[in-house]
Amino acid sequence: MSLSKPNTLRSGPDERGRFGIFGGRFVAETLMPLVLDLDKAYAAAKADPAFQAEIDFMQRDYVGRPSPLYLAERLTEHFNGAKIYLKRDELNHTGSHKINNCLGQILLARRMGKTRIIAETGAGQHGVATATVCARFGLPCVIYMGATDIERQKPNVFRMKLLGAEVIPVTSGTGTLKDAMNEALRDWVTNVENTYYLIGTVAGPHPYPAMVRDFQSVIGSETKVQMMEREGRLPDSIVACIGGGSNAMGLFHPFLDDTSVKIYGVEAAGKGIETGEHCASLKGGTPGVLHGNRTYLLQDDDGQIKDGHSISAGLDYPGIGPEHAWLHETGRAEYVSATDKEALEAFQLCSKLEGIIPALEPAHALAFVSKIAPTLPKDHLMVMNMCGRGDKDVFSVADYLGVKL
Amino acid sequence: MTTRLDKRFAALKEEGRAAFVTFITGGDPDFDTSFEVLKGLPAAGADVIELGMPFTDPMADGPAIQASSQRALRNGATMKKTLELVRRFRDGDNETPIVLMGYYNPIYHMGVETFLTRACEAGVDGLIVVDLPPEEDDELCEPAMRAGLNFIRLATPTTDDRRLPAVLANTSGFVYYVSITGITGSASPEARNVADAVARIKRHTPLPVAVGFGIKTPAQAADIARTADGAVVGSAIVDAIAKELDSEGRAKPGAAERVLGFVRSLADGVHKARAAAAE
Ligand SMILES: Cc1ncc(COP(=O)(O)O)c(C=O)c1O
């Protein structure tokens, strides 16, 4: 921990993997030694300059980083308020921010001598990114995906198979992301010797939330440098959508101590938080324990986990990363929400005005931007994380709009 | 403090036989059938009862127990009703130990202190909470011990000698050895490996060691009972319950009686294991 900056918000988690009361290591005994091993291996890798150099090299030549910070002039004109910058992580290889994390974790898995990779996926973006790095490094890859999600994200399922991954449909529970995560955990418990579980967001037992955040922090670090180059100062606000919260944590973390920067996380309000059909864990949930950590969850009066609903499969998770739960309770970040309908509108607006078809996930962030940007002064600098492109969503959007392809 | 679990294991030791530990999910497939099975377990030969607290996301369980949780929840199971099953059971049986088994969230959601008070009042003897390793002992294990409940920990093939002392430190009642790396109801354990593992755990603790995960037949149960202080059967019993459902998922008439018949056959395996070995 840094002695020069005792008041930093960036030093978490503590040695128990907690951010305040959130986080921790709530896993079965079989997994506990593995989780402790991973913690040690990651700490060692983090301290090794050769590890970071390997990541940097691959980020540049394979992923295509740094991603541009793009001034969205026509959106800015349209909203007639804040100056809107988009952090273009949708230009990354595989089309989203998910590859940042996968690259870090696959290099770690190799260092640990693991020979088999498993992962869960919702929208399929994390599955595709995992299958991609597995192909690149020649490791067998098993992806768990809810049967419901397989149906609504067919192009990504085929992509994963092309990349050589085995995609296992999960029918337990309701066949969505949380069930895929349960099934991946069951696989891990069974294949403890050789298997590395490559979690796709800032959830799971410690050290995953911190580790995934670290690998995604390249988003915020680049943004900081690029904004200084462009505007000579920090942004006034930063905005990102939240499923589990990894693209958001990646953008937010480097800015946590810059108190002049307002931070907004946008959850999926589905059909409206008041309808109960949403995925807004902070706005519509309560603290609980699931998938290895304590955080805000969608649950009923008996502590049973409820299914979320969102037009976006990538946001359809009944929890949220524990560090977000902590940032919410401390008030450092503000969590808001956008409905399916608002996201669909933003999806179309961005396509028409900027020539950028966003993924439905960041379309939620843009929906919030469209609400507050007009109320802000013209010298307000706002950065939104364009964390994924919409190719995967065009079929389901057509469906929603009643267009036959 | 001597608990029902301590007394039961001490008595079995006197008799020179292993405990037959049965698992069913509370409220599976419905409250009344579940109670009928629960009530009949001691007479069918169960020495210790594990009662599952249904949860939507049973991460360490295989298809059989997942399905049992879902059946129970679909038919209105809640934590309160699970405790009510125990309370009613205690009206007719003050000796057979009952251990609640499940996941932390429904307990956390009820509130740890409220849960412990209600569990003690209902007549619960111990808790097995799968997703609470010793690293999280201040959450529930320590308060449960203060409330007079046994906290039974799982030891697994990945729990090595360095880690065992931490796992055993706050364990009481008995140690539950998970005989395979995996989920409930999957591969069956090798009796030989189990014997070695039990011996290893016993070098670290005087507590009885019960073995579970993957025991499906009377013969397998007997095998385990020769070397361990107890054999736990769960998925196989839960599967027997699943077979008693009609096309609409309701229990057929006489379901509980037939399930208990299967339990009796397993119990015979366990109870005769050492006698047979001695002959
Ligand atoms: C493009 C995109 N954005 C966001 C998410 C949500 O994940 P997270 O909140 O971890 O960034 C996903 C998940 O699949 C995604 O594909």
The C-alpha of A65 sits at a distance from chain B's nearest C-alpha, in angstroms, of 37
pLDDT of residue A103: 98
A403 in reach of chain B (CB within 8 A)? no
| Per-residue pLDDT at B133 exceeds 50 | yes
ipTM score above 0.90? yes
Does A299 sit within 8 Å of B131, measured CB to CB?
no
A291, A204 contact by CB (below 8 A): yes
Order across the sheet with A381-385: list the strands. A69-71, A83-87, A381-385, A237-241, A262-270, A334-339
With cut-offs at 50, 70 and 90, classify the pLDDT of residue A5. Answer: low
Nearest residue in chain B measured CA to CA from A179 = B57
Going through A9-165 in order, the beta strands assigned E by DSSP cover 18-19, 22-26, 69-71, 83-87, 116-121, 141-146
Burial class (CB in 10 A: 0-12, 13-18, 19+), B38: buried
Our answer on whether the CB atom of A104 is closer than 6 Å to any ligand 1 atom is no
Contacts of A297 in chain B (CB under 8 A): 105
> What mean pLDDT, rounded, does chain A reach?
96
Q: Residue A174 — φ and ψ, nearest 5°?
A: -110, 10
Residue A86, token pair as written in the block: 């988009």
Residue with tokens 């991460």: B59
User: pTM for the whole thing?
Assistant: 0.96
Contacts of A186 in chain B (CB under 8 A): 59-60, 62, 182-183
pLDDT of residue B186: 79
Q: Catalytic: which of B50, B125, B229, B239?
A: B50
Which residue's CA is the closest to the ligand 1 atom numbered 16? A125
* Residue of A214, A315, A394 to test ligand 1 pocket, by largest number of atoms within 8 Å of CB: A315
CA dihedral B122, B128, B130, B136 (to 10 degrees): 90
With cut-offs at 50, 70 and 90, classify the pLDDT of residue B218. Answer: very high
Our answer on whether the CB atom of A241 is closer than 6 Å to any ligand 1 atom is yes
B233: amino acid identity, one letter: V
Averaged pLDDT, A6-12? 88
Q: What is the distance between the alpha carbons of residues A19 and A395, in angstroms, rounded to a whole number? A: 39
B40 in reach of chain A (CB within 8 A)? no
Q: Catalytic: which of B6, B28, B61, B244?
A: B61
In SS3 terms, chain A reads as: CCCCCCCCCCCCCCCCCEECCEEEEECCCCCHHHHHHHHHHHHHHHCCHHHHHHHHHHHHHHHCCCCCEEECHHHHHHHCCCEEEEECHHHCHHHECHHHHHHHHHHHHHHCCCCEEEEEECCCHHHHHHHHHHHHHCCCEEEEEEHHHHHHCHHHHHHHHHCCCEEEEECCCCCCHHHHHHHHHHHHHHCCCCEEECCCCCCCCCCHHHHHHHHHCHHHHHHHHHHHHHHCCCCCEEEEECCCCHHHHHHHHHHCCCCCCEEEEEEEEECCHHHCCCCCHHHHCEEEEECEEEEEECECCCCCECCCCCCCHHHCCCCCCHHHHHHHHHCCCEEEEEEHHHHHHHHHHHHHHHCCCECHHHHHHHHHHHHHHHHCCCCCEEEEECCEEHHHHHHHHHHHCCCCC
Other CB atoms within a 10 A radius of the CB of residue B217 amount to: 14
| Per-residue pLDDT at A4 exceeds 60 | no
B63 in reach of chain A (CB within 8 A)? yes
With cut-offs at 50, 70 and 90, classify the pLDDT of residue B191. Answer: confident
Which atom of ligand 1 lies at the shortest distance from residue A202's CA? 10
Q: What is the distance between the alpha carbons of residues B166 and B205, in angstroms, rounded to a whole number? A: 12
The C-alpha of B160 sits at a distance from chain A's nearest C-alpha, in angstroms, of 9
Q: What is the distance between the alpha carbons of residues A167 and A173, in angstroms, rounded to a whole number? A: 18
The C-alpha of B108 sits at a distance from chain A's nearest C-alpha, in angstroms, of 7
With cut-offs at 50, 70 and 90, classify the pLDDT of residue A385. Answer: very high
A259 in reach of chain B (CB within 8 A)? no
What single DSSP character describes residue B166? Answer: H
With cut-offs at 50, 70 and 90, classify the pLDDT of residue A364. Answer: very high
Which residue's CA is the closest to the ligand 1 atom numbered 10? A246
CB pairs under 8 A between A and B: 117
Averaged pLDDT, B4-20? 97
Can you state the percent helix, strand and coil of chain A, rounding each to 5? 50, 20, 35
How remote is the CA of residue B253 from the centroid of ligand 1, in Å?
Answer: 49
pLDDT of residue B80: 98
Contacts of B199 (CB under 8 A, 6+ apart): none
Q: Report the Cα B90 to chain-centroid distance in Å.
A: 17
| Per-residue pLDDT at A255 exceeds 50 | yes
pLDDT of residue A6: 59
